[in-house]
Structure 1
Amino acid sequence: MTLSQRTGVNMNEDLKVNLSRLPRECVDAGDLKNISADIPSQVPVVEPEPELVVNPWDIVLCTSGTLISCENAIVVLIIFHNPSLRAPMFLLIGSLALADLLAGIGLVVNFVFAYLLQSEATKLLTIGLIVASFSASVCSLLAITVDRYLSLYYALTYHSERTVTFTYIMLVLLWGTSICLGLLPVLGWNCLRDESSCSVVRPLTKNNTAILSICFLFTFALMFQLYIQICKIVMRHAHQIALQHHFLATSHYVTTRKGVSTLAIILGTFAACWMPFTLYSLIADYTYPSIYTYATLLPATYNSIINPVIYAFRNQEIQKALCLICCGCVPPALSQRARCPSDV
């Protein structure tokens, strides 16, 4: 008797033993013969492993995070390597760039962990980093607005040690608050154990998103009020100068109009980027289609792309520092032909 025949006999005997445990009416001799005849011909089928499918929205978010990281890393390096950029305004701009840099890194790390290293710990850490960094970004924008208001309202005493101390206090408060918000999911405020409590962004709970949304709306209202006061101060100063120097009235009117337009662009950009996701997260829950979450969250990431352009690269001191760095990277022969504007 061959090995295959012995195997068939053994399988038949095992099958008879197993089937003998069933009620007699459930098994008859004909069925037993048919099953015994079919077993040797059965071949185990190995199902192919499911292919890794990447969500296109996640690719877009990862690309946005990469651009955010590269752009804001330049601003952080410029401010860090230039001792002359230590004024309160530059400290706040550096805080904003650092927060946006961490937000970009968080988006990239979230993409990597979501498809390569899936675990509850990585989900909590990445969502905590993203929440803390974006919260620090929004709070830094508020701190910059407060600093601009104080620089106009207390123009004579603004450049003093008191202002520097107040700036450090603001930095400690905004980063402390942001870190506390980022620790909420890690400390247990998550929906990993109760899916019904999930928000539109897992594993954040509805309470998480509600707190963040209300904080954003409060921040936006405060920034809006401060920018209105800034516009009033600028217009009042321009009017006083125009009364003293009638021949400069036209130029001051143009300057004031540009300043008000710039403030409107800053506030409008901030609202356009963050308001869709804020309102959506207040009214939606985890049962809503995820495409709505991606469609509202993506514009919020664009705010971190626009921030360096509005607050950093438009500043003349930062432009000069960036130009000096770029000129230092070019060979001497070429740097003499294309010198920085400050050297011309």
Structure 2
Amino acid sequence: MEITNRSYLNPVIHMELNPLNYLMEDNETNSTAGERNSLGCVQIRIPQELFLALGLISLVENILVILAIIKNRNLHSPMYYFICCLAVSDMLVSVSNVVETIFMLLNDHGLMDVHPGMLRHLDNIIDVMICSSVVSSLSFLSTIAADRYITIFYALRYHSIMTTQRAVIIIVVVWLASIASSILFIVYHTDNAVIVCLVTFFFTTLVFNAVLYLHMFLLAHVHSRRIMAFNKNRRQSTSMKGAMTLTILLGVFIVCWGPFFLHLILILTCPTSPFCNCFFRNFNLFLILIICNSLIDPLIYAYRSQELRKTLQELVLCSWCFSV
């Protein structure tokens, strides 16, 4: 693998004779203009500087979200613990993107001569980070959806069901499972079963979330009357707001990660088709969408949560005051 090639994001990139190798051709120029090859495919070129800029912005945003949740005791609840972990997942994407882009830029400008062995280790580490990110992101999106479901339909027993101890156990299990599965994906990256597992997990979590959301929004008005009878109307409103936030988060995740998973599906179904090869050539565009997901998520947290937004403003103002 050459340092000028963006081969991270999933262990599938390591496969020999993989269709993704087509997208590696002619990737040295940094122009955003679309180009057509002999097959009439349009290949959109993304400058490395754009990857670096978006990665740094996303990294700062997610760090601020994590610090805000740690700082504000009002945000010390299972839902915000899960949101904090989701921010960490997004941060993994940002960190891996920034690290690889810096290596690529240094190499392009002749400031660093990277040894192939070192590059291979870096690539494996980045792959583990990205795989961990996608698995943990999907897991925490499902966890938050389940948390909102319990809050709405089991409001009176919520604190006995979703205790802090159980939330911590869930977080530890998700991270251990995400890291372990990512390492297995790297070890068995030459097996198509890796792609099948990723795609299956993606669609399974989507179906799980869809079922929960459908049940929540169809029966919420019936359940709200029961909640009102116990004078808990404010909690019901807050819970539904949390459910709406998760709906937005899931929608953004599907839009940003969807092309990547479609990419994986096409690798399995039509690896040699000219049409699929045209799709493969724009892999860098799919990477930009994934980075945008980690950049957009913190904006959604801040917009949907007044408490979090207030804490973020305090952190930004304090940082600005210290810099002055």
TM-score, normalized by the shorter chain, greater than 0.5: yes
In 2, the alpha carbon distance for the partners of 1:84 and 1:238 equals 24
Once the two structures are TM-superposed, the CA of residue 53 in structure 1 deviates from its matched residue by 4.7
Deviations 1:281-331 (A, max 9, x none): 112267635423233343233222221122344212212222333454576
Indicate if the aligned counterparts of 1:224 and 1:267 stay in contact, CA closer than 8 A. no
Partner of 1:57: 46
Give the structure 2 partner of residue 271 of structure 1.
254
For 1:302 and 1:330, locate their aligned partners in 2 and report how far apart those are by CA, in whole Å: 25
How many angstroms apart in 2 are the aligned matches of 1:140 and 1:167?
A: 11
Matches of 2:72 and 2:241, distance apart in 1: 30
Q: How does 1:281-296 map to 2 (within 5 A)?
A: 281-284=264-267, 288-289=277-278, 290-296=280-286
Alignment of 1:1-344 (within 5 A): 53=29, 56-57=45-46, 59=48, 60-114=50-104, 116=107, 117=114, 118=116, 119-160=119-160, 162-186=162-186, 188-191=187-190, 206-238=192-224, 264-284=247-267, 288-289=277-278, 290-328=280-318
The answer to whether the Cα contact below 8 Å between 1:88 and 1:164 also exists between their aligned partners in 2 is yes
CA contact (8 A) 2:136 2:175 kept: yes
CA distance in 1, matches of 2:238, 2:103: 49
Shift of 1:95: 0.5
Distance 1:298 1:144, change over 3 A: same
Against the structure 1 CA distance between its residues 242 and 95, is the aligned structure 2 distance closer, same or farther, given a 3 Å change threshold?
A: closer
Is contact 1:66–1:104 with CA below 8 Å preserved after alignment? yes
**1 CA distance for matches of 2:227 and 2:152?**
15
Q: Calculate the TM-score normalised by the size of structure 1.
A: 0.64
Amino acid at match of 1:77: L
- Give the Å deviation of 1:155: 0.4
CA contact (8 A) 2:256 2:289 kept: yes
**How far apart, in 1, do the equivalents of 2:75 and 2:229 lie?**
36
SS at 1:156 equivalent: helix
Are the structure 2 counterparts of residues 255 and 111 from structure 1 closer, same or farther at C-alpha, using a change threshold of 3 Å? Answer: closer
How far did 1:214 drift?
1.2
The separation in 1 between residues aligned to 2:258 and 2:320, in whole angstroms, is 43
The answer on whether the counterparts of 2:145 and 2:243 sit within 8 Å (CA) in structure 1 is no
Alpha carbons of structure 1 residues 110 and 268: separation in structure 2 relative to 1, 3 Å = same
The CA distance in 2 between the partners of 1:297 and 1:330, in whole Å, is 31
Alpha-carbon distance in structure 2 between the residues aligned to 1:53 and 1:80: 43
* Paired letter, 1:315: S
CA contact (8 A) 1:269 1:303 kept: yes
Equivalent-residue separation in structure 1 for 2:305 and 2:295 (angstroms): 16
Q: CA RMSD in A?
A: 3.5
TM-score, with length taken from structure 2? 0.68
For the residue of structure 1 that corresponds to 2:257, the secondary structure is helix
Distance 1:220 1:78 in 2: 29
State the Cα deviation string for residues 137-158 of structure 1 (Å, max 9, x = none). Answer: 2221111111111111210121
Equivalent AA in structure 2 for residue 82 of structure 1: N
Q: Would you say the 8 A contact 1:61–1:298 is kept in 2?
A: yes
Is the Cα–Cα contact under 8 Å of residues 65 and 105 in structure 1 kept in the other structure? yes
Displacement after TM superposition at 1:161 (Å)? 7.4
- The structure-2 alpha-carbon separation of the partners of 1:317 and 1:299, relative to structure 1 and needing over 3 Å to count, comes to same
2:70 & 2:79 partners in 1: Cα distance?
A: 14
Aligned partner of residue 159 in structure 1, secondary structure: helix
Q: Which moved more, 1:121-130 or 1:313-322?
A: 313-322
Q: CA deviation at 1:273?
A: 2.0
Structure-2 separation of matches of 1:307 and 1:88 = 18
CA–CA separation in structure 2 for the residues paired with 1:274 and 1:153: 30
How far apart, CA to CA, are the structure 2 residues paired with 1:223 and 1:234? 16
8 Å contact 1:145–1:226 — kept in the other structure? Answer: yes
Distance 1:185 1:73 in 2: 28
Aligned length: 260
Name the amino acid aligned to 1:209.
I
What CA distance in whole angstroms lies between the structure 2 residues aligned with 1:310 and 1:129?
A: 23
Structure 2 unaligned blocks of 5 or more: 1-27, 32-44, 108-113, 231-236
Q: Residues 87, 259 of structure 1: CA spacing in aligned structure 2 closer, same or farther, 3 A cutoff? A: closer
Structure having the higher Rg: 1
